[in-house]
Each structure stands twice: as structure tokens, then as C-alpha cells.
């Protein structure tokens, strides 16, 4: 009887198939009967998952119908290019990472918009789905340990796709791999491992996103021409703790971002990687990070201009011993704002009359002994740097020189939420500073000098820390 009804509808030329509680069709039967270009309206109700849509149809939910996978496999598969799904609650995937059990799996160009995904291992998974749109979805990952999670949004070989205005919570990563010229805009991604993980995504734009409390905010690798602009990245901590990181990327543009309260605001590794190519880092706000910008010594070819470095533990640091060169900190004759600048602007042109140098003996020691960061911003740091100023022979070479530092910062182009400005960072620094006398003794062992302050034994007097240590 149902088959006859479906046949009658299609013979009559009907392009809208309605699924409603108490109606003659269930969702699986409607999907099986649909032709390319049909619209399936689903009015409420709960429907079984493991649903495979093999035609280019539009699944439209009205009244938040549920598609439930009951904890097995992928809930909804869009197997045909040109499919669309919107307005559904999609929940209950399986738990197999090797099979990438997903809330929605698209195998061709698709539009996935205005859905709620709950208790999913992988959220929205696009495989070879170019020109797709993933928009205004709310995705909540499965409540398991980070190692067992799947990706909230995953794009694989899906060029020219758009990921816009989604909310992702509790996923592992948002992965954008082997997908060029993509747009990722206006998303809110929190409590994951990599907020955005880009690999081979040349020509892509990452703009206007809010990325909070992820281990890494944005990490871009092996790409050219990536633009990262007007994002807020906050609270990235952990083993990496990068707000924004680039590895082997060329012609990157990093403009107008707020990077606040991270372990590292911006990390550069072999970026740019090609000779004769330059990256632009401009008008960003680096505030209250442990390290504002962290670079490997070999990194060169970056133009830093118009940025604001505000009360970072270290404004700029090297990730290893060496000398930084080949980067321009005063492009076009105007540099950056430094909250640690001690110069003046006698002529009132908005630029300091003296260069700003990033040179700190304590920072230099932290490069060799990272555990000393525990006592940064405390009395010990002040004492060590004061001693270095009093005895210039011990002052290290500057990490950088900004020839025309700005007296006032440029206003941020995006606003961070109140929760991003973690006031406890300041309180923690004050509390740790009370341990200054302890670290002073520790640092005295590394200074190899005796200032008559009784800070500790010299290197030649102390026992090796490990066999063979000098």
C-alpha cells in the first residue's frame, strides 16, 4: 500500500514528500522513493539513523525532528552530490574512530545547515565534497577523554567549501585538510584540542572566529596564501598552548586578531619557507600571553607592523638558542606598540624617538631553562634584569630592535569577550612573585657571577646536575 502511494505521488509530478507522525510514510521510505531534486519535509518525530541518501534531495526538518543512530555507525550519509539537510537534531553515532562514525557524512558537494548534532563522535564529515556549505550548526561531541574523541567538523579534499557560523563544543579538532580556497568565518569553537587544524589549505581565509580554551587555537601547515584576520583566540594552554601557529607556510597574512591569555600568542616555524617570500603580521593585539610571539631562530622574512604587545610575560622570544634576523619590525617606517617601552616621543608624531629593544637576561635564561618561567613577572626577574643593566657585560644581545615603536596601540578591530581577559593571570603572577627569593637563589647558579648579594653558588662551585654536565 505504501509503495503504491509513493508511486502515485511521483507519477503525479509531486516534488515535495511529507513525512509526519501518523502519516503513511516513514523517513526511510521517503528517502528510498525520492528522485534527484525532490524535497522531503519531515515534521517532528524521531527517526532511525544509519540513513543513506543516494539522491540529490533536500531533507528539511520542521519542528526539530530527530534522527537517532542509537549508538551505531554513521547517522546520516549524503552519498550524492547536491544534497542538503537542515533543521534536524542528529544524535547517537557509534564510537569507532577507525570508521569515523559521524553525525553527517557527505560524499559529494552538500549543504549542511541549521542542525543540532548531539552525542556524536565525529560531527560533520565531508569527504571529496567540493563547494560545500557547513553553516549555523551546533555540534556537541561525545563526553569522552580527548584521546577517544572525533573531529567536530572535518573536511577532506573539499575545495572551495565554506564553514560559517557554527558552534562546536567538546570535539577533538576542526580539521581542514587538502582543501584549498576554503572560507572559515564566524565560528565559535571551544574546549577541544586543535580549534582549527589546517594542512595543505592554500588560498584559504580564516576570519571572525572565536576560539577559546583549546589546546591550540589555529595551526596552519604546508600552505600558501592563507589569510587569518579578525579572530579572537584565547586560553590556549597545555603542552603546546599556541594561539596561532604556522609551519612551512608562505605568503601568510595575519591581520587584526586578538590573541590573549595563551601560553604563546603566535608561533612561527620555518615560515615563510620559500626564499623571496614575505609574511605580513599586522595590527594584531598580543595581550597577557606567557609569550607574545615565539619564533625559531632560523625564521626570517616576516613584516611585523602596527601590532600591540601588551603585558606578555615575554613579548617576543626564541624557541631555541640563536640569533633572530631577517624580519622587519618597522615596516614602512612605523613599528609596534610595546607596553615595556621606556622611551619618549618628544616631537609628538606618535612614534618613539628611541628604538625599542627586546633584551632581557631573565628571558635569555628562560630559553635555556624553561622551568624558570614559574617565577616570571616576580621580584627575581626584576632583580636579574636590574643586575644586567647595572653590569652591561652580562646583558644579552637584543632579540629584536623596533626602530620606531608606537607610543599608543592601534584599537583592536575585534572585541574579545569578558571571559577572555583572564584576570586570574595577574593574580597568579603576583602570588608566584612572592617566591622570588627562592628563584633568585636558583638563578644565581646560572649567572656565573657574584654580585655580593649571596644569591647562590657559582657554576664552578656546584655539583653537576647529571652525569657529564658541565
C-beta pairs of 62-66 under 8 Å, 24+ apart in sequence: 62/87, 64/88, 64/89, 64/116, 65/27, 65/89, 66/90, 66/91
Name the grid cell of 445.
Answer: 647558579
pLDDT tens readout for residues 37-93: 999 999 999 999 999 999 999 999 999 999 999 999 999 999 999 999 999 999 999
pLDDT tens readout for residues 82-126: 999 999 999 999 999 999 999 999 999 999 999 999 999 999 999
The rounded distance, in Å, linking the Cα atoms of 448 and 176 is 49
Reply yes or no on whether the pLDDT at 394 is more than 50. Answer: no
pLDDT tens readout for residues 286-304: 999 999 999 998 999 999 9
Reply yes or no on whether the pLDDT at 203 is more than 80. Answer: yes
pLDDT computed for residue 86 by the predictor: 98
pLDDT computed for residue 380 by the predictor: 54
Q: How far apart are the first and last CA of the chain?
A: 88
Reply yes or no on whether the pLDDT at 162 is more than 70. Answer: yes
* Contact present, 337 and 312 (Cβ < 8 Å): no
Name the grid cell of 413.
Answer: 578591530
The rounded distance, in Å, linking the Cα atoms of 27 and 18 is 9
Amino acid at each position: 500500500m505504501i509503495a503504491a502511494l509513493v508511486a502515485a505521488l511521483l507519477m503525479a509530478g509531486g516534488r515535495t514528500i511529507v513525512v509526519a507522525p501518523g502519516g503513511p510514510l516513514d523517513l526511510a521510505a521517503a528517502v528510498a522513493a525520492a528522485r534527484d531534486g525532490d524535497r522531503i519535509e519531515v515534521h517532528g518525530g524521531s527517526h532511525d539513523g544509519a540513513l543513506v541518501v543516494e539522491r540529490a534531495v533536500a531533507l528539511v526538518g520542521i519542528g526539530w525532528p530527530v534522527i537517532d543512530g542509537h549508538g551505531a555507525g554513521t547517522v546520516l550519509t549524503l552519498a550524492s552530490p547536491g544534497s542538503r539537510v537542515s533543521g534536524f537534531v542528529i544524535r547517537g553515532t557509534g564510537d569507532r574512530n577507525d570508521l569515523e562514525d559521524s553525525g553527517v557524512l557527505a560524499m559529494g558537494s552538500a549543504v549542511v545547515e541549521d542542525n543540532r548534532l548531539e552525542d556524536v563522535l565525529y560531527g560533520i564529515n565531508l569527504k571529496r565534497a567540493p563547494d560545500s556549505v557547513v553553516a549555523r550548526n551546533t555540534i556537541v561531541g561525545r563526553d569522552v577523554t580527548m584521546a577517544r574523541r572525533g573531529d567536530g567538523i572535518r573536511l577532506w579534499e573539499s575545495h572551495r567549501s565554506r564553514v560559517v557560523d557554527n558552534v562546536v563544543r567538546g570535539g577533538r579538532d576542526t580539521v581542514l585538510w587538502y582543501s584549498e580556497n576554503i572560507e572559515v568565518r564566524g565560528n565559535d569553537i571551544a574546549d577541544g584540542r586543535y580549534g582549527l587544524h589546517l594542512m595543505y589549505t592554500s588560498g584559504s581565509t580564516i576570519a571572525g572566529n572565536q576560539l577559546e580554551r583549546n589546546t591550540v587555537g589555529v595551526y596552519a601547515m604546508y600552505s600558501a596564501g592563507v589569510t587569518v584576520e579578525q579572530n579572537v583566540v584565547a586560553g590556549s594552554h597545555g603542552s603546546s598552548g599556541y594561539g596561532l601557529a604556522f609551519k612551512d607556510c608562505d605568503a601568510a597574512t595575519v591581520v587584526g586578531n586578538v590573541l590573549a591569555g595563551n601560553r604563546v600568542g603566535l608561533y612561527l616555524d620555518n615560515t615563510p619557507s620559500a626564499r623571496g617570500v614575505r609574511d605580513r603580521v599586522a595590527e594584531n593585539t598580543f595581550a597577557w600571553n606567557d609569550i607574545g610571539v615565539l619564533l625559531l631562530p632560523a625564521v626570517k622574512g616576516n613584516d611585523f607592523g602596527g601590532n600591540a604587545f601588551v603585558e606578555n610575560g615575554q613579548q617576543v622570544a626564541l624557541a631555541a638558542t640563536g640569533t633572530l634576523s631577517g624580519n622587519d619590525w618597522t615596516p614602512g617606517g612605523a613599528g609596534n606598540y610595546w607596553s615595556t617601552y621606556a622611551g619618549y616621543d618628544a616631537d609628538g608624531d606618535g612614534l618613539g624617538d628611541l628604538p625599542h629593544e627586546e633584551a632581557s637576561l631573565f628571558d635569555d635564561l628562560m630559553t635555556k631553562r624553561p622551568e624558570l618561567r614559574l617565577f616570571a613577572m616576580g621580584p627575581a626577574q626584576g632583580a636579574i634584569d636590574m643586575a644586567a643593566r647595572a653590569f652591561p657585560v652580562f646583558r644579552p644581545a637584543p632579540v629584536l630592535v623596533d626602530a620606531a615603536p608606537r607610543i599608543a596601540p592601534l584599537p583592536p578591530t575585534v572585541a574579545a569577550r569578558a571571559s577572555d581577559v583572564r584576570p586570574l593571570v595577574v593574580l597568579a603572577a603576583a602570588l608566584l612573585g612572592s617566591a622570588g627569593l627562592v628563584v633568585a637563589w636558583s638563578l644565581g647558579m646560572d649567572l656565573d657571577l657574584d654580585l655580593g648579594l649571596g644569591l647562590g653558588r657559582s657554576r664552578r662551585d656546584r655539583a653537576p646536575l647529571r652525569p657529564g654536565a658541565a
